[in-house]
Amino acid sequence: MDEKKEKVIESIRRDRFKGNWEYRDISWTRDKEFTADKEFMFEAIKQDRRALEYASEELKANKEFMLEVVKYCRNSLIYASEELKADKDVVLEAIKQDGKALTYASEELTADKEFMLEAVKCAGCSLECASEELKADKDVVLEAIKQDGRALTYASRELRADKDVVLEAIKKHARAFASVSEELKADKDIVLIAVKKMRSKLKACK
């Protein structure tokens, strides 16, 4: 990286350190010599994640670049090209850093059962972004609650009334009880498991 770009990186670092919400030197954000330079932009993002907003459209569509960025920068998928928002590798990597990243993925991916099975293994909460059909898919929901019992809240009404699913969720996390159907909240087995789980958690906090 040349001296001119190193000075800009230092300026970005300084602005972040001082808590500035706007860059004092914004000239680089309009110059492709900077915004299309993979090495420069990655270093800029390392200093201040907001810099990704100014990356060139070519870089935002570059799979190699975005795969590295999503590993480092949460919420970065929002800036990816539409093509990369539908790329399984890029989206899965983003989910590993932040389950909510699936919010920015393509509808095609959130309706893909094979993909969603992988996604919920990384972050159970990503079930929130699944298609309605997959929120009612027992395989997908079970995988999600194995990772995080609280994911039950995003399951379909039918599965929140499924005793097998509910038991698995509560065994994983007592708070899942809040999402259980009214009928199962009165089920003796369900209540006992929830109480035991809560007592165990309280003991661990003492």
Q: In terms of C-beta distances under 8 Å and separation of at least 24 residues, what long-range contacts does 76-85 make, across chains too?
A: 76/45, 76/49, 76/52, 77/101, 77/104, 77/105, 78/104, 79/52, 79/53, 79/55, 80/104, 81/57, 82/106, 84/60, 85/109
Residue 206 confidence (pLDDT): 54
Instruction: Record the tokens describing residue 86, joined without a space.
Output: 């539908």
| Inter-residue contact 154 to 128 (CB < 8 Å) | yes
Q: What's the DSSP call for residue 130? A: S
Instruction: Record the tokens describing residue 80, joined without a space.
Output: 């990816």
Model-level pTM?
A: 0.84
| Inter-residue contact 152 to 166 (CB < 8 Å) | yes
Residue 27 confidence (pLDDT): 83
| Inter-residue contact 69 to 52 (CB < 8 Å) | yes
Residue 159 confidence (pLDDT): 97
Residue 201 confidence (pLDDT): 64
List alpha helices for 18-87, DSSP H. 32-35, 38-47, 57-60, 63-72
- Which helix (H) or strand (E) covers residue 193, if one does? helix 188-205
Among all chains, which residue has been given the structure tokens 């000239």?
A: 27
List alpha helices for 49-187, DSSP H. 57-60, 63-72, 88-97, 107-110, 113-122, 132-135, 138-147, 163-172
Q: What is the pLDDT along the chain (206 residues), one digit of tens a residue?
A: 788 889 888 888 887 666 555 666 678 889 999 999 999 999 999 988 889 999 999 999 999 999 999 988 888 999 999 999 999 999 999 999 988 899 999 999 999 999 999 999 999 999 999 999 999 999 999 999 999 999 999 999 999 999 999 999 999 998 999 999 999 999 999 999 889 887 776 555 55
DSSP 3-state assignment of 17? helix
For 176, residues 6+ apart whose C-beta sits below 8 A from its C-beta are 145, 149, 150, 152, 153, 166, 169, 170
